[in-house]
Amino acid sequence: MSLPGAACPADRPAPSTRALRVAVEGGSLHVRIDGDLASARPPLLLVHGGPGGSHAGLIPAAALGHDRAIIFYDQLDCGRSDRPGDPAHWTLARFVAEIAAIRTALGLDRLHLLGHSWGATLALEHAARAPGVVSLVLMGPLVSTAAWLADAATLRARLPADVQAVLTACEGPTPPPAAACAAATRAYYDRYWRLRDPDPVVTAYEAAMPHCFTPALYEAMWGPSEFRATGTLADHDGTARLAELRCPTLFLIGDSDEITEPTARRFAAMVPGGAETIVVPGAAHRLQNDRPDLFVAHLRDWMRLHDGDPA
């Protein structure tokens, strides 16, 4: 998902092969397209995490634009999209509907679909119900909140004892100072959310975004941190959707991801015929940041394998 507390400076133009707006309930979305939509290869549509993140973190996938169209977008109240700030729009169904709106606007009858973290929640819902998804990539996916929190408990137990003690105290009735809680939370993120600083090109791109993170949206739908769910997604369970998938599916995770390998493989086994699982070494939840080389290589190989017959 997205890191609470992330921020961006004032708006500046961002480079893009092509940018457009797509109308959805509540406003319009910013859509960026790299590559040629007329390519014989099906395009790739990427769905960012959060709730409340932006497409900036997925921008390493633009390197695939010489192969096919690569489509990024910001969800409503995120990034460069409209920000009405109305919690009435912050529902799973409305965010899922954005994918269909983009497909309709761009005429995407066939496409590869990638969702990262919370974006995988949305991608799974769409792929289970909609035709024309030639393959699905669930990257560091939030499939079930209960499973996510169980993994978070496992990962917290691997932190130093003093950090664990502070995190537990921070969730109690008399928490320690906010700075101590923030430092302990950061220790979790530094181990499981992102292992390395972003590439300078990605940093510059993120710096040009007007709005990298929407805390109110994150807190309303998820909660105060990656390992505490108190929002509307607290009871989310998308495991039934896995059995409804009819397209080739890949679980792509880091070896230090917030979703553990046993959980990813358990979910993969729920997909009819079984889904593939790739564990990227030296990568946490934002594996596209930690290992952009393998992120791009695995996506390129996966899509070429499953492009299929355009007829």
DSSP SS3 for 186: helix
CA atoms 173, 178, 182, 184: torsion sign: negative
Tell me if 111 sits within 8 A of 132, measured CB to CB. yes
Question: Which residues constitute the domain of residue 248?
Answer: 18-145+199-305
Q: Is residue 167 part of a domain?
A: no
Q: Is residue 214 part of a domain?
A: yes
Express as a percent the part of the chain with pLDDT over 90.
88
Query: What pLDDT does 210 receive?
Result: 84
Q: Is residue 4 part of a domain?
A: no
Measured CA to CA, the distance from residue 73 to residue 78 in angstroms comes to 9
| HSE-up of residue 77 (Cα within 13 Å, Cβ side) | 23
Least-confidence region, from 131-135, 203-207, 232-236, 295-299 = 203-207
Collect all residues with Cβ–Cβ distance below 8 Å to 112 and sequence separation of at least 6. 42, 43, 44, 45, 133, 134, 135, 136, 137, 303, 306
pLDDT at 9 over 50: no
Q: pLDDT, tens digit, for every residue of 110-168?
A: 999 999 999 999 999 999 999 999 999 999 999 999 999 999 999 999 999 999 999 99
Per DSSP, 59 falls in state G
- This prediction has a pTM of 0.95
Which residue in 244, 202, 222 sits closest to 61, CA to CA?
A: 202
Measured CA to CA, the distance from residue 114 to residue 118 in angstroms comes to 11
Question: Which residue type occupies 262?
Answer: P
Q: Is residue 83 part of a domain?
A: yes
Mean pLDDT, the chain, as a whole number?
A: 94
Tokens 């497409």, residue located: 55
Q: Is residue 152 part of a domain?
A: no
CATH number of the domain within which 48 lies: 3.40.50.1820
Question: Which residue type occupies 289?
Answer: N
Distance of alpha carbon 301 from its chain centroid, rounded? Answer: 20
Q: pLDDT, tens digit, for every residue of 36-49?
A: 999 999 999 999 99
Record the tokens describing residue 306, joined without a space: 């499953």
Measured CA to CA, the distance from residue 159 to residue 161 in angstroms comes to 6
Q: Is residue 286 part of a domain?
A: yes
Express as a percent the part of the chain with pLDDT over 70.
94
Q: Is residue 168 part of a domain?
A: no
Measured CA to CA, the distance from residue 23 to residue 223 in angstroms comes to 28
Peptide bond into 60 cis (omega under 30): no
Number of domains in the chain: 1
Query: What pLDDT does 162 receive?
Result: 97
Q: Is residue 162 part of a domain?
A: no
Query: What pLDDT does 8 receive?
Result: 52
> Using alpha carbons only, how large is the chain's radius of gyration in Å?
18
Least-confidence region, from 38-42, 87-91, 204-208 = 204-208
| 45: β partners | 71, 113
DSSP SS3 for 31: strand
pLDDT at 5 over 80: no
* Residue numbers annotated as active site: 117, 257, 285
Q: pLDDT, tens digit, for every residue of 15-24?
A: 458 999 999 9
